[in-house]
A and B are shown apart, each in its own frame.
Chain A
Amino acid sequence: MRVFSLSLQKIISMPRRRQPRKIVAPPKFREYRPYGHQGESTGTVELLYEEYESIKLADYDGLSHHQACVLMGISRPTFARIYESARRKIAQALVETKKIKSVFGNVYFDRNWYKCTKCHNLFTLPDSIHERLCPMCKSNKIEFINSNQ
Chain B
Amino acid sequence: MKTIITAAEPNLKSLMDLRFGRCQYFCLFDDANGGVSFIKNEGQDAQGGAGTKAAEKMISLGVKRIISGDFGPKAKELLDKFQIQLIKITDNNKSINEIISSIK
A binds B: yes
Task: Establish whether residues A123 and B102, one from each chain, have CB atoms under 8 Å apart when the complex forms.
Answer: no
Measured between beta carbons, the chain A residues less than 8 angstroms from B90 are 120-122
Q: A128 vs B91: C-alpha distance in the bound complex, in angstroms? A: 27
In chain A between 33 and 77, which residues have their CB closer than 8 angstroms to a CB of chain B? none
Task: Establish whether residues B83 and A136, one from each chain, have CB atoms under 8 Å apart when the complex forms.
Answer: no
A123-B83 CB under 8 A given contacts A135-B103, A136-B103: no
Measured between beta carbons, the chain A residues less than 8 angstroms from B86 are 123-124
Taken residue by residue from 112 to 130, chain A's Cβ proximity to chain B (1 for < 8 Å, 0 otherwise) reads as 0100000011111111110
Count of A interface residues, CB-CB < 8 Å: 17
Measured between beta carbons, the chain B residues less than 8 angstroms from A124 are 80, 85-87
CB distance from B91 to the nearest CB of A (A): 8
Q: A113 vs B87: C-alpha distance in the bound complex, in angstroms? A: 9
Is the C-beta of B57 less than 8 angstroms from some C-beta in chain A? no
Number of A-B contacts (CB under 8 A): 44
Q: A134: nearest residue on chain B (CB-CB)?
A: B87
Measured between beta carbons, the chain A residues less than 8 angstroms from B89 are 121, 136
Q: Is the interface of B mostly helix, strand, loop or mixed?
A: mixed
Residues of B whose CB lies within 8 Å of any CB of A are 64-65, 76-77, 80-81, 83-91, 99, 102-103
Task: Establish whether residues A125 and B85, one from each chain, have CB atoms under 8 Å apart when the complex forms.
Answer: yes
A136-B85 CB under 8 A given contacts A111-B80, A124-B80, A126-B80: no
Task: Establish whether residues B102 and A137, one from each chain, have CB atoms under 8 Å apart when the complex forms.
Answer: yes
Please name 11 further chain A to chain B contacts, defined as beta carbons within 8 Å, in addition to the given A109-B81, A122-B88, sorted by A numbering.
Answer: A108-B77, A111-B76, A121-B88, A121-B90, A121-B91, A124-B80, A124-B85, A124-B87, A126-B85, A129-B85, A136-B102
Q: A13 vs B76: C-alpha distance in the bound complex, in angstroms? A: 34
Q: A128 vs B76: C-alpha distance in the bound complex, in angstroms? A: 16
